[in-house]
Amino acid sequence: MYNQCETYVLGIGGIFLKIFSTIIIITVVFALMKYLGESTKKHAAVVSEGTIILKMNQAYGVIGYIGIVCSAVIGVIASLGTVKSVQDLIIVIGLVLSFLALSMPLVLISKKMKIEVDEEKIKHFGITGKIKTIYWNEIKTVKFSKTALELSLITDKIKVKLHMHLIGFNDMVNIMKAKIDYSLYRDALIEIESVNNRINKGF
């Protein structure tokens, strides 16, 4: 009887622990998204008259470094003899590679990527060092993805994507509104304002 009660209590405790953990995770995710969303309200760095620089929120880099540390911890724990079979080893390697695959791009995005915007053009500096230049007067299509939170500026030959979590994103949007025809960005602007309103309301 005692063992049955103990099992029951442990079972209930486990359920509450899972519920509590889920609530914590959801809360952290929402708080993080709220924080990252605030990046759009911050002003971009001004490097010269009429030229601004947009960079990704440094939180991306922090998250990336945490992921790298987690992969290292998993590797250290595995090296201490906890891996008992080939199957376990495959799982550990998979976890380490997954953490690295998700984390490294975040670090590179926060360190390498930047957007230079002026009255004439936009220069996109990618994580590999590749530079894309797009001129305002050549833009034919403007789209915004609420799923990816990316604004796409498209010419006949080039497509540049600008993430909403770039610091100074709204500054860039204001320049865009002054440089291209309203009919091109109208739908995208409606989507952007919808996301901004959701962020302001705390999702």
One-letter amino acid for residue 39 of the chain: S
Structural domain includes residue 153: yes
Amino acid, single-letter form, for residue 135: Y
| DSSP reduced 3-state for 152 | strand
Q: Given CA atoms 129, 40, 202, 189 in this order, what sign does their dihedral have?
A: negative
Closest CA to 55 of 170, 172, 166, 176: 166
Q: How far apart are CA 13 and CA 3, in angstroms?
A: 15
Q: Is residue 191 part of a domain?
A: yes
Q: Which two tokens stand for residue 97?
A: 């590679």
Q: What tokens does 140 get?
A: 């034919």
Q: Is residue 97 part of a domain?
A: no
pLDDT of residue 10: 43
Q: Which residues make Cβ contacts (< 8 Å) with residue 111, sequence separation at least 6?
A: 61
Higher pLDDT, 147 or 19: 147
pLDDT at 14 over 60: no
pLDDT tens digits, one per residue of 30-71: 555 565 556 556 777 777 777 899 998 887 788 888 888 888
Report which residue type is found at 10: L
3-state secondary structure of 124: strand
**Does residue 46 lie in a domain region?**
yes
Closest CA relative to residue 163, chosen from 134, 124, 131, 128: 124
In this prediction, residue 25 has a pLDDT band, given cuts at 50, 70 and 90, of: low
Mean of the pLDDT values across residues 17-21?
A: 54
**pLDDT tens digits, one per residue of 147-194:** 999 999 999 999 999 998 898 898 999 999 999 999 999 999 999 999
The verdict on residue 121 lying in a domain is yes
Here the tokens at position 36 are 């990252």
Per-residue pLDDT tens over the stretch 89-131 = 777 788 788 878 888 888 888 888 899 999 999 999 998 889 9
Domain holding 136, by residue range, is 37-57+114-200
pLDDT tens, residue by residue, 134-155? 999 999 999 999 999 999 999 9
* H-helix segments, 38-162: 59-77, 86-112
Is 26 contained in some domain? no
Residue 202 belongs to what H/E stretch? Answer: none
pLDDT at 13: 45
What pLDDT is attached to residue 76?
78
Domain at 119, CATH number: 2.30.29
Number of domains in the chain: 1
Greater confidence (83 vs 180) lies with 180
pLDDT of residue 184: 95
pLDDT band at 23 (very low <50, low <70, confident <90, very high): low
DSSP of 46-62:
EEETTEEEEEE-THHHH
Whether 14 is in a domain gets the answer: no
Rounded to whole angstroms, the Cα distance separating 134 from 142 reads: 12
Distances (CA, A) of 125 to 104, 156, 174: 17, 20, 21
Its pTM surpasses 0.85: no
